[in-house]
Amino acid sequence: MRKNALTDMESKFAELIWSHEPVPSGELVKLCEAELNWKKSTTYTMLKRLESKGICENRNGIVTAILNKEDFYAEQSKRFVEETFEGSLPRFLAAFTRSRKLSDSEVDAFVKLIKEHKEE
């Protein structure tokens, strides 16, 4: 497994951290009990896993993200395209649109993104 790849439950846990940070670890335990039906020990085990993956840290009882949600998913997307489509965005887009048509607004958004990120 890649260093920053997350399991389904790790993703749900990371989402809780991202949406409540900075969060005291005791409050995080309560959130996980309410949202995920976890015990305190499960929360701390998962927290250690995410810390080891460089997603968050627990410093002096306050849990914060090291890697924000947008950067995490951007990196995951980049890795997916690299591993699955040999790094080719056109091949990815061709596969994505093979069974789904793009709306005019989606095409416009893609064109805008391409222009903003085009190499000079």
Read off the pTM.
0.77
Say if CB 83 and CB 100 are below 8 A apart.
Answer: no
pLDDT tens digit string along 19-55? 999 999 999 999 999 999 999 999 999 999 999 999 9
> CATH fold of 8-69, please?
Arc Repressor Mutant, subunit A (1.10.10)
| Domains of the chain by residue range | 8-69, 88-120
Instruction: Please classify residue 46 by burial: count the beta carbons closer than 10 Å to its beta carbon, then call 0-12 exposed, 13-18 middle and 19+ buried.
Output: buried
